Structure formats: C-alpha cells, structure tokens
C-alpha cells in the first residue's frame, strides 16, 4: 500500500486528466482532416472541417489552462482516443460503400464526442470544487462546444446520412 506521502491529490488527478485531454485534442486534430476527406456527405465533411478549427481552439484553451496553473503540458497519452481513432481508421479501410462509410464516421465521431463530454464535465467539476473558477469557466466553454458538436452530428445522421446508407445497402442486397 502506498504511503500517505506518495498518494496523489485531487490537484494531481486534475493535472493528469487535463494532460489526457490535451493529448486527445492533439490526436483528434490529426485525425479530423482524414475523416473529412473520407466523408462523401458535404454536410458531414463541412462539420468535420468546422470541428477541426474548434479542436485547435480547444487545444489552445487547454494550453491557457496549463499556463494559468503554471503546469507543464507534457505527459499523458490518451489511450481511449487513440483506440477510437484506430477504429475509425480501420473503418475507412474496410471498403464500405461511401454512404455507409459516412454512417460509420458519424458513429466514430460521436464516440469521441461522448468521451470528451464525460471528461470535460468531470474536470470542470473538479476545477470548481478546487476553487479554480477561471479554469472551470474555460473547461465549461469546451464542454458546451463538445455537446453542440454531438448534437450536430446526430442531426446530420438523422436528417439523411443514415437513410442514404441504409438505402444503398438495401440496393446492394437486391
């Protein structure tokens, strides 16, 4: 059992989680152009391109948080996002019909958004509890952006992409 001195504090946990999110944003920033290029739906492609710019801003916001906390950004690899991005890469290489691939890309992107919503919500709450109100406000802004992105992806899916994917699959089965 670790000694009391070696046990990590709430502050340590917050820093670790922020580093995880920072790496996640960097990974997402690298993956989004590939996803946009693979999308055949103009609306989906546009959403990925818009989210790329938002992701850059979110990464910069995390850098601002690290500066405010006088903490280095180095450190943690976000294995969860790495796995979700790997799933999306595999999907893009499966030879799916383009309309079906769009459906799969939305599923993959929403998995990422849901991870980010959970993570940003938790670190925002931790920052609030610790009295880091400026940090909490910055995290809240990102959390709201992630929720909006998830809703936008869902709207794209139900407003036609899912239906097109299904129709193409049905025609192929005939």
Taking residue 53's Cβ as centre, other Cβ atoms within 10 Å add up to 11
Does 98 score more than 60 pLDDT? Answer: yes
Find, among 86, 88, 84, the residue nearest to 39 by Cα: 88
% of residues, the chain, pLDDT over 90? 90
Residue spans per domain, the chain: 10-173
Q: Is the per-residue pLDDT at 82 higher than 90?
A: yes
pLDDT tens per residue across span 22-78: 999 999 999 999 999 999 999 999 999 999 999 999 999 999 999 999 999 887 899
Whether residue 115 has pLDDT greater than 50: yes
Q: In this model, does residue 165 exceed pLDDT 60?
A: yes
Second CATH level (architecture) for the domain 10-173: Up-down Bundle (1.20)
For residue 3, pLDDT over 70 is answered with no
Task: For residues 2 and 50, give the distance between their C-alpha atoms in angstroms, rounded to a whole number.
Answer: 46
Angstrom distances, CA of residue 174 to CA of 7, 104, 112, 115, 170: 62, 22, 34, 38, 6
Q: Furthest-apart CA pair in the chain: how many Å?
A: 67
Answer whether residue 173 shows pLDDT above 90: no
Q: Report the percent of the chain where pLDDT is more than 70.
A: 97
Return mean pLDDT, the chain: 94
Average of per-residue pLDDT across 104-113: 97
Q: Is 0.85 topped by the overall pTM?
A: yes
What pLDDT is stored for residue 61 in this prediction? 98
**pLDDT value, residue 174:** 75
């Amino acid at each position: 059992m670790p000694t009391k001195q070696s046990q990590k504090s709430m502050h340590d946990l917050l820093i670790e989680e922020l580093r995880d999110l920072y790496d996640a944003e960097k990974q997402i920033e690298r993956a989004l152009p590939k996803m946009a290029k693979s999308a055949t739906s103009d609306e989906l492609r546009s959403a990925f391109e818009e989210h790329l710019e938002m992701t850059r801003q979110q990464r910069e916001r995390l850098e601002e948080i690290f500066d405010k906390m006088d903490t280095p950004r180095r450190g943690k690899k976000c294995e969860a996002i790495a796995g979700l991005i790997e799933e999306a890469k595999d999907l893009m290489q499966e030879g799916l019909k383009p309309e079906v691939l769009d459906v799969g890309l939305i599923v993959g992107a929403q998995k990422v958004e849901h991870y980010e919503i959970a993570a940003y919500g938790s670190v925002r709450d931790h920052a609030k509890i610790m009295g880091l109100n400026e940090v909490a406000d910055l995290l809240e802004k990102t959390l709201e952006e992630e929720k909006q992105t998830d809703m936008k992806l869902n709207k794209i899916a139900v407003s036609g992409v899912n239906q097109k994917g299904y129709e193409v699959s049905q025609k192929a089965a005939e």
